[in-house]
Chain A
Amino acid sequence: KNEVEQSPQNLTAQEGEFITINCSYSVGISALHWLQQHPGGGIVSLFMLSSGKKKHGRLIATINIQEKHSSLHITASHPRDSAVYICAVTYITQGGSEKLVFGKGTKLTVNP
């Protein structure tokens, strides 16, 4: 079982809809990252958070440390939001090294 699980795997929405992508993890983390990957491969870091909530434009990321869960919300979705959204967590191993583990991603398609 992967340390990071995302849902749904695929999501299709109509332009203007409110989108929620979920991420659950099984370890105590030091940070959680939300990333966006467009076709062709380039990845953009959207958020890095360790508590609470962050907002940037139409994107909102929240994290609940006790429940080991984070959500990425997109308000007023647009076709240009179509991409794969990846959740990743940073944690410290028993040996004291840092580890960064990624989810498999959620493929979002927003239709006009």
Chain B
Amino acid sequence: DAGVTQSPTHLIKTRGQQVTLRCSPKSGHDTVSWYQQALGQGPQFIFQYYEEEERQRGNFPDRFSGHQFPNYSSELNVNALLLGDSALYLCASSFGGTMNQPQHFGDGTRLSIL
């Protein structure tokens, strides 16, 4: 039974570019949440997708957008990359469109902006 998988594991981009990160949820889960974790900090909630819609959103600008597909997998897109977007991006899956369920995390994508 596969857990949460994220791709790619590492990525290097330059300022102004666009990036797409991908996440496949744990089998049986229908909800995907995305988090940004800067070095030495706790994760910060970006948004949550359930039933192919963005259901909750944290304090992130519109440059951060996402999508959920019918198979529950999800993408995180970031446009016009800034140096400050360098971070570990974590995806977590759960069931039922609520945060009051245990979150199962992937290993993350480490994004570096040059």
Contact = CB atoms under 8 A, between A and B. Distances in A.
B56 A104 contact: no
B110 interface: yes
Contacts, number: 66
A40 interface: yes
A21 B56 CA distance: 29
Nearest to B89: A41
Judged by DSSP, the binding face of A is strand
A103 B103 contact: no
B72 interface: no
A33 B102 CA distance: 8
Contacts of B90: 41, 43
Interface of A: 4, 30-31, 33, 35, 40-45, 48, 50, 86, 88, 90, 97-105
7 contacts: A33-B103, A40-B107, A41-B90, A45-B103, A97-B57, A102-B45, A103-B42
